Structure 1
């Protein structure tokens, strides 16, 4: 059985004024299993809507030394937001939480369970293991996700069902020890490739809830990100040490 003291939750934010306050409330309200301490790190990536104001309202309402906030003056991308969060994360475990409400923060406890009981080093939350999830982001988006995951499995020599998932929970020393370069959505295949290359690291997936949204509702990832993901899979899988 593995003892976890603190979980750092990095929350990159870009133009999520409709969801960010509610999301932060949900994360703040979670009681982590095993009495694990929680550290929230909010990274506002130069949002041009009212996200910054919503974050400040939350910070004023819930003053806590374990809630930290960073603001980028120039938009840099999700990966860059995660890089900034990593620099100040103090947890012995780290996880990424998107600022929308597609994923239920209560599922973070599902990710913690195999870490505590089995000593796993990396846990991904899979949107595709729970067959009750309805992929509202469309047939083509789902097929693209499945293809990118298949390609990752072939290139990285692993066996997972959802490489593009936001929920990646990684032991802190492993996460911080990676040299991560991708500034935007290429972060997902890059971290997966680099974790897969660490000898002895074990991956585990757990089923999570997924409430997909459409581009009209604010979803930002597009076909160009899919092309970049393919490039990153090959770059960090076959053409990088």
Structure 2
């Protein structure tokens, strides 16, 4: 079945410096095959001007569905994604971080792969393209590779980038899962639960990536890496719900 609508979930937490540019980039990208966009912005109780930017953006958009959901307290990226899944009406979802590390133009690379392969899940890999891999910071690259290796070992997969933000997944598949992780544990949890589906193979395509550091507002840290390993054991090795 061809995709008719893509739900784009954008978790937001204090992203006033990049949010306006990102939202306009998502709005302006033309999707292949006349696929329509549904933009779902989930504000994780930001205390900066992010909510004002979101409201101004929503008021200015006429021809694309924009949903704005503000959480009452800061809960985490995974909680934002779960809320976005509840609100989504598209055939598939993709998560877009509110910073500028990922380029929304790459949506079409994943959509094209899904249309061609008929797979229910396509990941955008930052490391499939070797030139892109060399542009990433060494410790960032090494950490991602170690976690991806652990994921592949436990889940019997051959991914090159398990931690990628760009995961294009059919909505009915996501809604069939009990997703529990509130922070960055969403990535290993959903990957492990997809691995349990015997008739589903995760496809990958190379995407562009612009690394940012903690001075630029990057939030993920070493504690999240430990949580990722824990989630892989919990949801992958032990197959807990």
- Shorter-normalised TM-score: what interval? over 0.9
What is residue 76 of structure 1 aligned with on the other side? 75
Shift of 1:134: 6.1
Q: Contact between 1:134 and 1:211, CA under 8 Å: does it hold in 2?
A: no
**For residues 135 and 86 of structure 1, do their structure 2 counterparts lie closer, same or farther at Cα, with a shift above 3 Å needed?**
farther
What is residue 187 of structure 1 aligned with on the other side? 186
Structure 2 residue matching 1:27: 3-state secondary structure: helix
Shift of 1:137: 6.1
What is residue 45 of structure 1 aligned with on the other side? 44
Structure 2 residue matching 1:42: 3-state secondary structure: strand
Q: Contact between 2:147 and 2:162, CA under 8 Å: does it hold in 1?
A: yes
Structure 2 residue matching 1:133: 3-state secondary structure: helix
Runs of 5+ unmatched residues, structure 2? none
Q: Check if 1:120 corresponds to 2:89.
A: no
What is residue 30 of structure 2 aligned with on the other side? 31
What is residue 144 of structure 2 aligned with on the other side? 145
Question: CA separation in 1, counterparts of 2:163 and 2:47?
Answer: 26
Q: What RMSD over aligned residues (CA atoms) do the two structures have, in Å?
A: 1.3
Shift of 1:60: 1.9
Q: How many residues are matched?
A: 240
What is residue 195 of structure 2 aligned with on the other side? 196
Q: Contact between 2:126 and 2:207, CA under 8 Å: does it hold in 1?
A: yes
What is residue 90 of structure 1 aligned with on the other side? 89
Structure 1 residue matching 2:8: 3-state secondary structure: strand
Shift of 1:136: 6.5
Question: CA separation in 2, counterparts of 1:182 and 1:137?
Answer: 27
TM-score, structure 1 as length reference: 0.96
Runs of 5+ unmatched residues, structure 1? none
What is residue 155 of structure 2 aligned with on the other side? 156
Question: CA separation in 2, counterparts of 1:130 and 1:211?
Answer: 13
Residues 140-195 of structure 1: per-residue CA shift (max 9 Å, x gap) = 12111100000000000111000000000001100111100000001100000001
Question: CA separation in 1, counterparts of 2:236 and 2:187?
Answer: 12
Q: Check if 1:215 corresponds to 2:190.
A: no
**For residues 66 and 115 of structure 1, do their structure 2 counterparts lie closer, same or farther at Cα, with a shift above 3 Å needed?**
same
Question: CA separation in 2, counterparts of 1:132 and 1:50?
Answer: 36
TM-score, structure 2 as length reference: 0.96
Question: CA separation in 2, counterparts of 1:136 and 1:213?
Answer: 11
